[in-house]
Amino acid sequence: MRGCSLHQISPTGTMTETLHAMANSEDTTIKTFEFKLRVNKSFVEACERELEHSRQIYNAALAERISCHQITGKSLGYVEQSRHLTDARILPEVKNHLRAIQQDALERVDEAFKGFFRRVQIGEKPGFPRFKGKDRYHTFSQKYEKVRPCPIKGDKLTVPGVGSCRVRLSRPIEGQCKQLRITRRVDGWYALIVCETPKPEPLPKTGQTVGVDVGVTSFATLSNGEEIENPRHLKSALGNLQKQQRRLSRKKKGSKRRAKQRIKVAEAHLKVARCRKDYHHKVSTDLVRRFDVITVEDLNIRGMVKNRHLAQAISDVAWGSFFTMTKGKAENASRTFERVDPRFTSQICSICGHRQKMPLAIRIYECGKCGFVIGRDHNSAITIDRAGQARIYARGEGAVAHRRSGNAMADLNRNRGAV
Ligand SMILES: [Zn+2]
């Protein structure tokens, strides 16, 4: 890191999380416990210092990668940067901070680059990793490499190298702590304790499969015909967010009122994110409980399809996290989670396999070949379910797929009767 400037250059960037990769055995799973902190002034100051230092390490590591590539044409990896960090630790201002926290900043740079190259590879428009401004860096964290006691004892949290404070204990912590993250949000400071816990017992088989067609207006449509609506509290949170954003756009740039309004917008964002996450938990738990196989559309492929609505692209971000959550729960319960090619799912007749153009405005599928009439999303969900079963069958897990196809046909017959 020596020789690199430790100054901020420009803001922004997203943080990727690969915590689930930390579960190192098949019998364990990763659970994150989140607690709001009851901070005092000195703890906040210590956390802010740590955050700022982490941010500087992040930006320095990013700058180092860029200049190394410019000068030598080679790319610098995480291992080399770790070594450079060791060198830099002879400087007292670097040595003053915990190595584990600095290491985490290096890992985040590494993840940002991996994400960038992954997006290049799948043909998405990649954003190059960016320097983080003061208002874009809110989390510092440290991994627990060795087995160490939980950082929370009673209602007291101890952050090694930083300090301690009280927490609002909302639920008991289970398992072995693997990582401690401290994060600043618009409504206060939070600790996230990432633990490795034993996998729960697999759920009993239900003999049911499902295809999930996610929507823009409603939450999702299932292949059994169920429609899942967005909950009212989420709709009202979204409405409020729009209202606050409109107000922000009317405030004069650089004014005090604008600064105040920005906080309101951030609060509205947080509210939406929380409502959404709660609801995602509810729906994903329900799906995993009821179905042995859950099939969704592969959004990575969907992202590559051109001429899509902006609203769709935005909602895909939320869908991505819903799918990741469902996948995690499915794996823990020994269920199967499939992703299938989304191209043509809305065009293929779920009865006879005929394909026809389906402009977005057309909400009812009327098959030009067999005359079958069904809701557009319902038809897609059935096609998705079928494609998922076909993939399982192709992998040679035929016994599962056979039982499923029986059910799918029963579903279809029921639907046919209903329409
Ligand atoms: Zn047909």
Instruction: Give pLDDT tens digits for 51-70.
Output: 999 999 999 999 999 999 99
Mean pLDDT rounded to a whole number for the chain: 84
- Separation between Cα atoms, residue 403 and residue 411, nearest integer Å: 13
Tell me how long the chain is.
Answer: 419
User: Ligand 1 centroid vs 286 CA: distance in angstroms?
Assistant: 31
User: Ligand 1 centroid vs 134 CA: distance in angstroms?
Assistant: 57
For the chain, what percent of residues have pLDDT higher than 90?
Answer: 61
Say yes or no to pLDDT of 409 above 70.
no
User: Ligand 1 centroid vs 217 CA: distance in angstroms?
Assistant: 26
Q: How many whole angstroms from its chain centre is CA 169? A: 25
Split at pLDDT 50, 70, 90, the class of 149 is confident
User: Ligand 1 centroid vs 334 CA: distance in angstroms?
Assistant: 34
pLDDT of residue 9: 26
Split at pLDDT 50, 70, 90, the class of 314 is low
Over residues 76-89, the mean pLDDT reads 94
pLDDT of residue 315: 64
User: Ligand 1 centroid vs 365 CA: distance in angstroms?
Assistant: 9
Say yes or no to pLDDT of 163 above 90.
yes
pLDDT of residue 264: 94
User: Ligand 1 centroid vs 387 CA: distance in angstroms?
Assistant: 16
User: Ligand 1 centroid vs 370 CA: distance in angstroms?
Assistant: 4
Over residues 142-155, the mean pLDDT reads 88
User: Ligand 1 centroid vs 102 CA: distance in angstroms?
Assistant: 59
Split at pLDDT 50, 70, 90, the class of 418 is very low
Over residues 318-338, the mean pLDDT reads 90
- Separation between Cα atoms, residue 34 and residue 181, nearest integer Å: 9
User: Ligand 1 centroid vs 352 CA: distance in angstroms?
Assistant: 4
Higher-scoring residue by pLDDT: 308, 316:
316
Split at pLDDT 50, 70, 90, the class of 401 is very low
| Cβ-Cβ contacts under 8 Å for 90 (sequence gap 6 or more) | none
pLDDT of residue 51: 96
Higher-scoring residue by pLDDT: 216, 29:
29
User: Ligand 1 centroid vs 297 CA: distance in angstroms?
Assistant: 21
User: Ligand 1 centroid vs 369 CA: distance in angstroms?
Assistant: 5
User: Ligand 1 centroid vs 309 CA: distance in angstroms?
Assistant: 28
For the chain, what percent of residues have pLDDT higher than 70?
Answer: 84
Say yes or no to pLDDT of 271 above 80.
yes
Split at pLDDT 50, 70, 90, the class of 148 is confident
Q: pTM of the entire structure? A: 0.74
User: Ligand 1 centroid vs 127 CA: distance in angstroms?
Assistant: 42
Bridging pattern class, strands 188-198 and 209-214: unpaired
User: Ligand 1 centroid vs 49 CA: distance in angstroms?
Assistant: 64
pLDDT of residue 168: 87
Say yes or no to pLDDT of 398 above 90.
no
pLDDT of residue 151: 92
Say yes or no to pLDDT of 22 above 60.
no
Note the pLDDT tens digit of each residue in 334-353.
899 999 988 888 899 999 99
Say yes or no to pLDDT of 306 above 70.
no
Over residues 83-95, the mean pLDDT reads 93
User: Ligand 1 centroid vs 331 CA: distance in angstroms?
Assistant: 35
pLDDT of residue 313: 58
